[in-house]
């Protein structure tokens, strides 16, 4: 069973002379339970693609299936429900609420789907932040803040973790640590991961690498022996 099937997917922004074709009739089968990297230069359509998959935005034309269910023409309410049930997002910016502690930041999102404090604690333990439950974002390093945002994304145990340049704002060593946390979640929770990067070295940790260029799929390659984050360098 595929996690996502994408048929003739097109996304255009703007109109007339200002029209931008961000994705141009792309077709993809994305298998489940894999660690997938989406690679491509700036402007190639990476964020646009995962925003469609995560029901953050709707396509201009084409079809997206999640398993057997078509999600293309969902209403706003259906999109919100779908995200709450299935998707965890991690972005380059951590988007934590400054007046809430690490634990409260995780709980805040988990409460939306009715999960408990215990589950928020488990998520923070999973990312190695047991000692930081009661710290505010300003009292945490960038890497720690990103790990809180990952804990928030995984607390409801989503089927898919969508990560858009999660190490983009981090130094090399911290980036490797954060990638290690994402890989661990993938392995231990069997969460499917789609991770965007423009860094070819990071692509070496993936099972499958999908390369985009100018809104089209340039290539799909399988890594027979993906590296561990600690084995890559750039």
Chain positions contacting Mg ion, by CB under 5 A:
47
Looking up tokens 């999600």 gives 71
**Shorter beta-carbon distance to ligand ATP: residue 140 or 179:** 179
Task: Based on the shown chain and the rule CB under 6 A, indicate whether residue 40 belongs to the binding site for ligand ATP.
Answer: yes
Verify binding: residue 198, ligand ATP, rule CB under 6 A: yes
Residue 183 contact among ligand ATP, Mg ion, none, beta carbon within 5 to 8 Å by kind: none
Binder among 20, 97, 112, 218 for ligand ATP (CB under 6 A): 20
Quote the tokens at residue 33.
Answer: 């339970």
Residue 45 contact among ligand ATP, Mg ion, none, beta carbon within 5 to 8 Å by kind: ligand ATP
Alpha-carbon span 224 to 230, nearest angstrom: 18
Say whether residue 105 binds ligand ATP (CB under 6 A): no
- By the 10 Å C-beta count (0-12 exposed, 13-18 middle, 19+ buried), 156 is classed as buried
Q: Which of these, 224, 127, 222, 207, lies nearest to 166 by C-alpha position?
A: 127
How many angstroms separate the CA atoms of 26 and 69, rounded?
19
Q: Binding of ligand ATP at residue 54 (CB under 6 A)?
A: no
Strands 160-164 vs 2-13: parallel, antiparallel or unpaired = unpaired
Q: Rule CB under 6 A: is residue 46 a binding residue for ligand ATP?
A: yes
Q: Which stretch binds ligand ATP (CB under 6 A): 25-33, 36-44, 103-111, 146-154?
A: 36-44
What does the alpha-carbon distance between residue 179 and residue 23 come to, in Å, rounded to a whole number?
A: 27
E strand or H helix at 50, and its extent? Answer: helix 46-53
Choice between 81 and 216, CB closer to ligand ATP: 216
Binding site for ligand ATP (CB under 6 A): 13-14, 20, 22, 40, 42-48, 198
């Amino acid at each position: 069973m595929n996690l996502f099937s994408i048929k003739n997917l097109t996304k255009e922004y703007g109109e007339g002379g200002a029209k931008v074709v961000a994705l141009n009739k792309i077709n993809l089968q994305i298998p489940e339970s894999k660690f997938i990297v989406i690679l491509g230069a700036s402007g190639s359509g990476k964020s646009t693609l995962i925003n469609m998959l995560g029901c953050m935005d709707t396509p201009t034309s084409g079809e997206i299936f999640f398993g057997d269910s078509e999600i293309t023409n969902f209403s706003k309410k259906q999109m919100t429900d779908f995200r709450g049930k299935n998707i965890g997002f991690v972005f380059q910016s951590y988007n934590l609420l400054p007046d809430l502690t690490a634990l409260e930041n995780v709980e805040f999102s988990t409460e939306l789907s009715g999960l408990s404090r215990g589950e928020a604690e488990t998520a923070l333990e999973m990312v190695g932040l047991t000692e930081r439950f009661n710290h505010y974002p300003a009292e945490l390093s960038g890497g720690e803040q990103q790990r809180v945002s990952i804990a928030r994304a995984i607390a409801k145990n989503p089927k898919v973790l969508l990560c858009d340049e999660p190490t983009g704002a981090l130094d090399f060593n911290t980036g490797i640590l954060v990638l290690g946390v994402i890989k661990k979640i993938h392995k231990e929770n069997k969460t499917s991961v789609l991770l965007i990067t423009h860094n070819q070295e990071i692509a070496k940790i993936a099972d499958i690498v999908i390369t985009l260029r100018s809104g089209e799929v340039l290539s799909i390659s399988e890594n027979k022996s993906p590296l561990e984050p600690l084995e890559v360098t750039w």
